[in-house]
Structure formats: C-alpha cells, structure tokens
Amino acid sequence: MNNIYTIFVAAVLAVLASSNVQAADVQILNVSNDPTRELFKEINPVFAKNWKAKTGDTVTINQSHAGSGKQARSVIEGLEADVVTLALAYDVDQLYQKRKLIPEKWQTLLPHNSSPYLSTMVFLVRKGNPLGVKDWDDLVKPGVSIVTPNPKTSGGARWNFLAAWGYALKHNNNDEAAAKVFVNKLFKNAAVLDTGARGSTTSFVEREIGDVLITWENEGHLVLREFGADKFEIVTPSLSILAEPPVAVVEDYARKHGTTEVATEYLTFLYSKEAQEIIGKNFYRPVDKDIAAKYAKQFKPLELINIAQFGGWEAAQKKFFADEGVFDEIYGPGK
C-alpha cells in the first residue's frame, strides 16, 4: 500500500513541478474569438522575437479561442486575460459594465477605435455558384439554404444580421417593417445555427450543409486556403458591414500580473507594419494605409456601413439581440 502512496505523491509533485518550469519568464494570456486562431498563431512568435530583442525577456503568449460572448463572460467571471481580442465592442464593453476591469473609455486608448484589423461579412458558396448567388436578396429566395451562427451566441453572426438589415433598409427606403420581413425570410432559410463562427464553417464545409455560408471575409479566404479554391468560392455582396473587432488590455488583471507594459506593447505591435503585413496575409483588412493598399486587390470593393449607423453596439444589442428583440421576433412561434 505504501508504494502506491509514494507513487501517487511523486506523480502529483511531478505534475505540479512541471507546470512551474516556464514561470521564470513573462507570460500573457490573449483571450480571443474564433476566427483569429491562425492570425495570432502567426503574430505571436514575431512579437515574442521582437520583445526578446528589445528587452531580453522571453514572452510566451497563451491563447484561448471560443465564441466572443463566451470569452467575455469567462474574463468577467475570472479568466485572467491580460489582453482580449474579441469580435465586437459590445463584448469588450461588458468588461467595464460588469466588473470595471477596463476603463470606461477603453476604445479611445488605441488608434482606429481600438481595432487593429478590420473585416466584413461575405458569402461562401460551393464551386461554380450553382444557385447564382450575387447579393443579399438572393439569400431570401425560397429553397436557398443558408448557414450562419446564432446571433445570440456569436459576435460574427451579429455582424451578419446587421449587414442584412442594412441592405434591406437601403433597398426599402429605410422601411423598418420591410427590413424585418427581409431578415425574417433570411433566417427562416437557415439550415443550422451553430453557436460560433467556426462551428458554422464546419457545418458548411465538412458537413456539406447549406448552399451559402455567411461569414467573416477572412474566414472565407481561410476556407479557400485550407480546403482548396477548387471547392468553394467567395461572393462579395454589394453592401455589407464594416466589422471592427476590438482589442483591449484588461488593465485590472495585467496590473495584478505586472504585465501592463508587455500587454500594451503587444497590442500596439498589432498596428506596426510588420504585424499589419501578417494581418493582410491572413485576409483581414489592415488599418495601416500603405499595407491596406498593398493588400487591397485581394478584397472586392463594396459599400460598407458601420455600427455607428445603428447608434452603437449598446443600442443595437438592445434593439435586435436582447430577449424579445427583433431577432427573437423572427423565430417567434408559428411564424
């Protein structure tokens, strides 16, 4: 019996010890949403190299990816992120609203509303575009089956919804009732509502569900890269929404970890030419003018509306996505 205890204690100690090995150097935790996995996988080592050259310290950036809302909630509940890089400002704002983990004016602390990369929502269709989908109004036709995440749980899906709403307003003389009918038809065509953007991509690409996937522009390009441009193609609608995924240092936690400097530097680095190049390469739209021009040709031009036209996220959330908001009306029983 004694032997078993010895082995047990030794094993526990070994595991505890091994988890402390890396603690000598700086570690920061970047809590992010789903479609940024590949982006940060590429950016993090470059930043670590620069930081080492500049300060001599080794920095390890740990990543956590999941749906934007889930991530914000985890940080509020105590997931000690040094920085958050989420899908939309509303989720970051909750860090201030619920626990004052960040300053109220967090969005003014970094350039471009704290969004170092931009994107928009586009369509992904199967090769040859068998249904001839060109724009949002093709998606509401009967028999077209679309795949999008659920706006209740996914940040990207909220961008999808607002883009469709914006398109409908524009083509119906700003008639909200008509827009409601439009998005109603759109979401009635949804074959599956996954909880996150990546889940939707999987449903569309690997499960072969649906005719059209509405997704992040970068996610669409990523699918072409991962699964082959011979299987899918991207359709850019005439109008979409400018998605501004924001980043922020979670000051409360960073102060506690003593990582404020490196965390701030990390986010500032995202605006550097070097990082902006990687951002462009990963099919996000860079905010740096020169780099943006360089990568402009990979994005089709389109009319972009932005969240300000909806009165900001707080208002949009309340009107469209809160319980018994417009989205809940769409899925009202018996409709």
Partner 1 sequence: MSQSSVMPGFRPTIGFTLIYLGLVVLIPLSTLVFKSFALTLDDYVHIITNKRVLSSFRVSFSSALIAASIASVFGFITAWVLVRYSFLGKNIFHALIDLPFALPTAVAGIVLATIFQPSGFLGKLLLDTFGIQVAFKPMGIVVALIFISIPFVVRTVEPVLLEFEASMEEAGASLGATRLQVFTKIIFPNIFPALLTGFALAFARGVGEYGSVIFIAGNIPYISEIVPLLIVTKLEQFDIEGATAIALTMLVISFLLLLLINLLQLWVRKRSGQL
Partner 2 sequence: MTSITIQPQHKDKIVAQQQALQDPNWVRWGLIFIALSFITLFICGPLFLVIYQALSKGLTAYWTALSEPDTLSAIKLSFFVALVTVPLNTVFGVTAAWAITRFDFKGKSLLTTLIDLPFSVSPVISGLIFVLLFGAQGWFGEWLVEHDIKIIFAVPGIILATLFITFPFVARQLIPLMQEMGNQEEEAALSLGASGWKAFWAVTIPNIKWALLYGVLLCNARAMGEFGAVSVVSGHIRGMTNTLPLHVEVSYNDYDVVGAFASASILAALAIVTLILKTILEWKQAKR
Tell me which residues touch partner 2 (CB under 8 A): 8, 11-12, 15, 18, 29, 34, 37, 62-66, 74, 76-80, 98-99, 198-199, 202, 226-227, 256
From 109, 131, 191, 304, residue interacting with partner 1 (rule: CB under 8 A): 191
> Which among 158-166, 248-256, 278-286, 327-335 is the span making contact with partner 1, rule CB under 8 A?
327-335
Cα–Cα distance measured from residue 180 to residue 185, given in angstroms and rounded to the nearest whole number: 9
What is the distance between the terminal CA atoms of the chain, rounded to a whole angstrom? Answer: 67
Nearer to partner 1 among residue 111 and residue 228 (C-beta): 228
70 interacts with partner 1 by CB under 8 A: yes
Asked if 85 is part of the footprint of partner 1 (rule: CB under 8 A), the reply reads no
DSSP, residue by residue, 122-190: EEEEETT-TT---SHHHHTSTT--EEEE-TTT-HHHHHHHHHHHHHHHHHTTT-HHHHHHHHHHHHHTE
Contact string 94-113 vs partner 1 (x = CB under 8 A): x---x---------------
The item of partner 1, partner 2, none sharing an interface with residue 272, based on CB under 5 to 8 Å by kind, is: none
Site track for partner 1 across 134-173, x = CB under 8 A:
----------------x-xx--------------------
Query: Residue 233: which of partner 1, partner 2, none does it interact with, CB under 5 to 8 A by kind?
Result: none
Residues contacting 197, CB < 8 A, separation 6+: 33, 34, 35, 67, 87, 149, 154, 155, 156, 157, 215, 216, 219
Closest of 229, 245, 237 to residue 123, by C-alpha:
237
Least distance (Å) between residue 15 CB and partner 2? 5
Q: Which helix (H) or strand (E) holds 76?
A: helix 68-77
Distance CA 259, CA 27 (A): 8
Minimal distance, residue 208 CB to partner 1, in Å: 4
